[in-house]
Amino acid sequence: MSSIQIIVGSMLGGTEYVAEACEEVFQNHNHTIDLHLMPKFSTIIDQSFQDDPSEKVIWLVCTSTHGAGEYPDNLKAFADDLLNTDQDLSTVNFLTIAVGDSSYDTFCKAGKDITKLLISKGCKEINSILTLDMSQEIDPEDLAQQWIETNMDRI
Ligand SMILES: Cc1cc2nc3c(=O)[nH]c(=O)nc-3n(C[C@H](O)[C@H](O)[C@H](O)COP(=O)(O)O)c2cc1C
C-alpha cells in the first residue's frame, strides 16, 4: 500500500478531470489517496508522512501550462515552497502528467519544470513525464488512466 498525493495545477478545470480519472485507478488498487485541487506544500508534506512510515510515498503531479510557459496560478505557491524547502524529500517517489497544447513553443513547460524541480530536491521519478496534447487527444482521461496502470507495479 502507498500513500498517494495527487497535486493538481489547473486554471480552466481540464486537468482536474485528468487527475480525477487517475484517482479512480489508484482507488481500484486500494491505495490511500489525497487529491489536492488547491495544493498547499505544508499540507502535502503532513499527509505524505503522517501515516504508517512503512507506506511508500507517491506524488502524482497533474498540471497544465498557462501564460507563456508558466505554472497555473493555483500551483505557484506550491512550486515556490518546494523551491525554498530544506525538507528531506528523498523518500518521495513521483510521476508527472503534463497537460498542454503543442501549438505553444512552451509545450507542457510547467510539467517539465516541476519535474526538474522535484528531481533537484532529491525526489525519485518513477517514470518519465507523460505529456498530453489537448489539441490532439480525443480522450486524455483515458490515456492518463492507461499510463497510470502501466506504472502500477512500481507504486
Ligand atoms: C492563456 C493560455 C496560455 C497557455 N499557454 C500554454 C503554454 O505555454 N504551453 C502549453 O503547452 N499550453 C498552454 N496553454 C494550453 C493549456 O495548457 C491547455 O488549454 C490546458 O488544457 C488547460 O488546462 P486547464 O483547463 O487544466 O487549465 C495555454 C492556454 C491558455 C488559455
> What digits encode the pLDDT tens for the residues 50-69?
867 778 999 999 999 999 99
- Residue 44 Rama label (left phi>0; alpha psi -120 to 50; beta): alpha
Ligand 1 centroid from CA 137, angstroms: 14
Cell of 82: 518546494
- Give the E-state strand segments of the chain in sequence order: 2-9, 32-36, 56-64, 92-100, 124-125, 130-133
Give the predicted TM-score (pTM) of the model: 0.97
Domain CATH number, residue 83: 3.40.50.360
Ligand 1 centroid from CA 64, angstroms: 6
Nearest Cα residue to 132 out of 78, 65, 53, 33 = 65
Give percent of the chain with pLDDT exceeding 90.
90
Ligand 1 centroid from CA 125, angstroms: 24
Between CA 38 and CA 32 the distance in angstroms is 19
Test site for ligand 1: of 16, 66, 107, 112, most ligand atoms within 8 A of the Cβ:
66
pLDDT score at 2: 85
Query: Which residue segment(s) compose the domain that 51 sits in?
Result: 2-154
CB of 11 within 6 A of ligand 1: the answer is: yes
Domain count, the chain: 1
> What digits encode the pLDDT tens for the residues 110-147?
999 999 999 999 999 999 999 999 999 889 999 999 99
> What digits encode the pLDDT tens for the residues 85-95?
999 999 999 99
